[in-house]
Structure 1
């Protein structure tokens, strides 16, 4: 799942994305009536080439997660951070082209007091790991442009250490734009923080895997591995091409069929394996209305996931091979999710509509 970057732009590791996005998304931009959205003018700003993590430090050097996977522009979100360092800072970087810098810092906190949070809770029935930590800073996104963000946590003093927390500032509308749809459900399915994900337990055995995974925990490794490997390069390239863009996540498409109304194209980024029935239905609805769909990776929509309210967590995902998949969630609702593979169709689907063309 990991990869390395290469070349002066750091994009050759995912060169195939360039072909897909340039061919498909550029067509969508040409056929739309939109002259452009915020990203082209945003990309005229100076970037910060020092946005990348240079030292993750020890596993517990600094770790954190946000209480939202996406927010509206101007909306607040909370951060939950654990570090043995006496202090830490948070920097928000918007991913884009920025004349090759590939990110711009839009906000930086003052030094914040560090603290080691309690050990994560473990629920043995479903092998769920949840970090029931005290909330740290509440961050306003006032003035932040729509887009994909990495919040970088930097421990100050002590042994140091850095981690990312991914966040999407979603677009208010998609009409005439190319929509980049990020995949936090899949990020979470593979997240091994705390020793468990949907594929293995602490002993590495599939039989001890999680049956329920929670969004209330940091992501493993550098905090944004799946975004970095599967999604970042497409974001950078799409902005470099000055396409009229909109940003959303699969969870937003799940909760609101209007998210994709009038979109010229939806780009399914990288390895978007886990989708709810509502998300898939809303994508199909958009396709049938004439929106182009570009799929940039294998295993897309392979697992059907259900997200349900639960009384014991803010945001939790559960999986069970035999459970039905019929429920929906909203961003602030406690949730569980169940999954099954999508079954082959029992009859041939209707022919697809004619795609949008100039």
Structure 2
């Protein structure tokens, strides 16, 4: 076998390409939103609630420069079906305030419709259409339709990660990752995190392009392993910037994540009823009629109230399948559940930072000022992951879950052996993951409990991931994460950003775990990419998912 000639690879790297006077995607980031050109043809709109029940009225708040507009409503499930439309509505243009991200648009209602009792629970896309002089523009609004009587028609609920979507929705000037008041994303990584974000996000504004619909076959954040010597970057971000999509929408949303699992569930006969996270805060009894709950995809943000509803459900005998990753942040809902608050990396700036009611504080669940490790609810912790197969973050990592307990019931009939790497070709382990603190004994991983993992939690599969991005110096490298998250996590978890603290959290794991909780049960596949494995028909991932759901619904 011929050894790899690393010297030759280095020569290839040095050839590289011309650079220095062309902007990267990091330098081209801008927020989605209305045009500054008063003559531009555009249409924007949002629903007055994230979720409805049959018989309720959906209010559409729309601003358009088109004289005539209309809309269609499509149910996005196993099939994509048009269920309603209105045409010939008179257009009206409305201004946007300076503080629209935090305060909302405040536009008047432009149209409404009552939801028929026969519509099935699911995700509904409202395609807004504006027309002028033979030209048409479109934009997508969205709502969740919950069941009229949750749990009566189906015992399986799926909760869409709508709070995570909102943190990645930069419409109007910012989101949880960007602020039009601080746009230099090439500065010190921790400084960028502390300054370039919006702590208050209104639901009363449109969704950024790409959160609700996106073309088939677009690049994912989790990538195939690059050749030796290749430059690293984020092709999905390049694609978004080049094609007029908000760059943050490659990391979250209905289109890229939640919809994939919902469609798979319907296609495989599970008849899920869809809820939003907003529903758990709206009605703490909403899960009572269900036997099992699924969350999926990029599921990073939860309110304390919503998490408490899920905890109560599980402890009372419910079963919870977490087929998603990156559980990190506690948010607070205000203004009648219309405003989402999370001060994130600048938690000390939250007016409620020292509140006696920890539910009111915002920031990382694992941080010393909240200290509510997600593992006790979700089966893993966000900062015990996190990254793989993206940029310089373990770009040639395993890409799949390395199996250590093949005899577990979750693997029945999946032809799983000790040491198998589940889903590596996809990859199923990538972008962001969840893990636990662990040690090995006799070839098997066990939780140490140092991170709050409860006694009895089993680690079924485990794969190394990292919290720090490496730069190997290749020409063309674009390093975006660097050590920013590592610096934050070291201080948040251990009180101070020191070399010793960084060493404790730099390298983590993506895990599949199972645990009992009260009278209930939790299964966790801690990766944002499980939904992609389902959508692509990975045989073993599908078999494991069926084992979990069939057991949980039995």
Contact 1:120 1:194 in 2 (8 A): no
Q: TM-score, normalised by structure 2?
A: 0.47
CA distance in 1, matches of 2:256, 2:267: 18
Give the corresponding residue for 1:308: 334
Q: Is the 8 Å Cα contact of residues 70 and 170 (structure 1) preserved in structure 2?
A: yes
* Alpha-carbon separation, structure 2, partners of 1:141 and 1:189: 28
Query: What residue number does 1:130 align with?
Result: 104
Distance change >3 Å, CA 296–CA 347, structure 1 → 2: closer
Partners of 1:349 and 1:281 lie apart in 2 by: 17
The alignment's TM-score, normalised by the length of structure 1, stands at: 0.71
Indicate the residue corresponding to 2:175 in structure 1.
Answer: 197
User: In the alignment, does 2:161 pair up with 1:183?
Assistant: yes
Per the alignment, do residues 142 and 121 of structure 1 end up closer, same or farther by CA in structure 2, a change over 3 Å counting? Answer: farther
Aligned to 1:220: 208
**Aligned counterparts of 1:111 and 1:350: Cα–Cα separation in 2:** 62
Structure 2 gaps of 5+ residues are 1-31, 36-40, 185-191, 213-248, 374-450, 457-515, 522-550
Q: Is the 8 A contact 1:182 1:269 kept in 2?
A: yes
Other structure's SS at 2:334 match: coil
The equivalences for 1:256-335 within 5 A come to 256-300=283-327, 302-309=328-335, 315-320=338-343, 321-322=347-348, 323=353, 324=355
SS at the partner of 1:306?
Answer: strand
Change (3 A) 1:190 1:183: same
Larger radius of gyration: 2
| 8 Å contact from structure 1 (residues 87, 157) kept in 2 | yes
Going from structure 1 to structure 2, the CA distance change for 1:108 and 1:347 (only over 3 Å counts) comes to: closer
8 Å CA contact 1:306–1:327 kept in 2: the answer is: no
CA distance in 2 between partners of 1:325 and 1:249 (Å)? 28
Match of 1:86 among 52, 67, 71: 67
- 2:489 aligned partner: none
Q: 1:338 to 1:118 in 2, by over 3 A?
A: farther
C-alpha distance in 1, partners of 2:356/2:255? 29
The count of residues paired between Structure 1 and Structure 2 equals 284
Q: Spell out, residue by residue over 1:247-282, the C-alpha distance to the aligned partner (whole angstroms, 9 max, x if none).
A: 211111123232112422211121121111111111
* 1:118-174 CA-partner distances (Å, limit 9, x unpaired): 123427xxx735212121112211233222111111122343111111101112222
The 8 Å contact of residues 121 and 132 in structure 1, kept in 2 or not, is answered as no
Residues of 1 paired with 2:358 and 2:163: CA distance?
15
Shift of 1:223: 5.6
| Match in the other structure for 1:145 | 120
Change (3 A) 1:210 1:255: same
Change (3 A) 1:212 1:240: same
1:208 Cα deviation (Å)?
Answer: 4.1
Counterparts of 2:453 and 2:325 in 1: how far apart (Å)?
Answer: 22
Give how far 1:67 is off: 0.6
Q: Secondary structure at the match of 2:109?
A: coil
1:338/1:197 Cα in 2 relative to 1: closer, same or farther (>3 Å)?
farther
- Unaligned residue ranges in structure 1 (runs of 5+): 1-55, 329-336
- Partners of 1:154 and 1:286 lie apart in 2 by 41
RCO higher in 1 or 2 (8 Å CA, sep ≥ 6)? Answer: 1
SS in 2 for 1:237: helix
Picking from 241, 247, 268, the partner of 1:241 is 268
CA contact (8 A) 1:91 1:109 kept: yes
Question: CA shift at 1:201, angstroms?
Answer: 0.8
